[in-house]
Amino acid sequence: MIPVKIPTVTIARPRLFAGSLLLALIMLLLDQASKQALLAYFPQDQHEIVLTPFFNLVKVWNYGVSFGMFADQRQPLILTMVSLVIIIALLVWLARSTDKVLGFGLGMVIGGAIGNIIDRIRFGAVADFLDFHVAGYHWPAFNIADSCIFIGVVLLCVHSMLAETKPLTKGPLE
């Protein structure tokens, strides 16, 4: 039998890692509580509550990914598995991180992604309910998990643009 070596990940800054995971948990709980409250509040036959001239609460099931892409595929298991692989990669990245902005962004993305995974496991789709619109044009409905993912990705992008890069001391193939 050939021995298999499992790679290990050392946590660079344990407090940053724990704080980012706590942020992910808080975002996950806010997402799930908001979805539970809205799903319980909406009558079975009602799918929209008009609150302002530019904002409604809606009950929409997203069977795809962002903006409903691939919704006609109805593959919650595949989407869930892909999401889990991405979360594992983000956790490894977080464990190696030493930057607070990076940790905050990763925590937001991880919490949001887990929130949407829970929906896919429970319902086979993601519950979306926030609907902003102007002059008859509606932004695709979204939820708190989607907002967390968006904010986290923006932070990761800003971090990558503003972070100081260290020159390589060796070539990438050396």
Positions annotated as catalytic residues are 128, 146
Token pair belonging to 76:
């919650």
